[in-house]
Amino acid sequence: MPIDTSSQLRVLFTRQQIATRVAELGAQITRDYAGETVVLVGVLKGACLFLSDLARNIGLDATFDFIGVSTYGAGKLSSGEVRLTKDVDTPLQGKNVIVVEDILDTGCTMTYLTKVLQAAQPKSLRIAALLDKPSRRQKPIQADYFGFKIPDEFVIGYGMDYAERYRNLPDICVLASNEQ
């Protein structure tokens, strides 16, 4: 799928590698919550594709909700500030909530979100992040379920964007640094 031939893209994880890992995460969640119901709360917009694939690999009674935050501006640099742009639509009190996120980077977004979601008094709250960049962490937060640990590189595709583009790439790619 040629999107922009002037962009420098290097594939980091192929769609097959992603599918295999997401299936493993779904199986793990299915085992961990056996006999329970779960609410998957996707963080817009980056986690949409991960949530839709993960959900199909979870063999439990599950519902979806979505939450919106804004951290990054139009480019790659984070302002460090997190703002809620959309709250969940359903009550989470007494529910097993799994926040589904594309990538844990500095941890600022997830630290903020766990506070917001804990305030709704769920029965349990866990984090599923497709990618983890541990070297960038500023807050002491970890994912309960993660797909892949990656080095400090800016990635796009499979839901993740650079200035809103590339979310529809089926593979996870690194955007070359001359794109900054």
Active-site residue set: 105
Told to check if 148 binds ligand IMP by CB under 6 A, we report no
Told to check if 55 binds ligand IMP by CB under 6 A, we report no
30 or 70: whose CB is closer to Mg ion?
70
Q: How far is the CB of 162 from ligand IMP (least distance, A)?
A: 7
26 or 159: whose CB is closer to ligand IMP?
159
- Binding pattern for the stretch 67-96 against ligand IMP, x by CB under 6 A and - elsewhere: ----xx-----x------------------
40 or 60: whose CB is closer to ligand IMP?
40
Of 100, 66, 110, nearest in space to 85 by CA: 66
State which H helix or E strand residue 49 sits in: helix 48-55
Residues with Cβ within 8 Å of residue 166, at least 6 apart in sequence: 3, 156, 157, 160, 173, 175
Among 9, 58, 104, 173, binds ligand IMP (CB under 6 A): 104
- Binding pattern for the stretch 42-71 against Mg ion, x by CB under 5 A and - elsewhere: ----x-------------------------
The CA-atom distances, in angstroms, between 149 and each of 39, 60, 145, 154 are: 25, 26, 11, 13
Preceding peptide of 45 cis, ω within 30°:
yes
Q: How far is the CB of 168 from ligand IMP (least distance, A)?
A: 14
The CA-atom distances, in angstroms, between 177 and each of 79, 100, 136, 155 are: 19, 27, 17, 11
33 or 50: whose CB is closer to ligand IMP?
50
